[in-house]
Amino acid sequence: MKPYPHSVTNTPEQKKFNYRLSKCRRVVENAFGHLKARFRRIGKGVDNHIKNVNTVISCACVLHNFLIAEKDLILENWLVEMHRDSRRNIQYGTNAVDRSEGESIRNALKEYFSE
């Protein structure tokens, strides 16, 4: 989801939305960084059918949390390989979605956050 463009005319609600979106994106990016370091299949792209992607990611999260609870650490060389692979596999934005739908979702979230 795109933030509201930075402008001096942004409302306080838009600024609050951009701030919260930024925090959420950082958390999600960190989580995927951990998953990519532990499960190379995710780092190279999930090549399953699109309807199975949520299940694959959910299972990887559960397994990752289990391994953390069992004190199984991510090895340093896995992190190095993940960074090397991620530089080769830069993903660009998806081919488009209905823009008005995205804007209406963003506006609904902005209203929710401003309450």
- The pLDDT, as a whole number, for residue 22 is 93
CA distance 105 to 111: 10
- The pLDDT, as a whole number, for residue 21 is 92
**How is the chain split among helix, strand and coil, in percent rounded to 5?**
70, 0, 30
Burial class for 78, CB neighbours closer than 10 Å (0-12, 13-18, 19+): middle
CA distance 110 to 115: 9
Positive or negative, the CA dihedral 45, 47, 50, 56 is negative
Provide the CA 101 distance to its chain's centre, in angstroms.
Answer: 20
Low-confidence ranges of the chain (pLDDT < 70): 43-44, 46, 74-99
Domain ranges of the chain: 12-90+98-113
**Identity of residue 48:** N
Of the candidates 47, 17, 2, 21, the one whose C-alpha atom is nearest the C-alpha of residue 110 is: 17
**Identity of residue 91:** Q
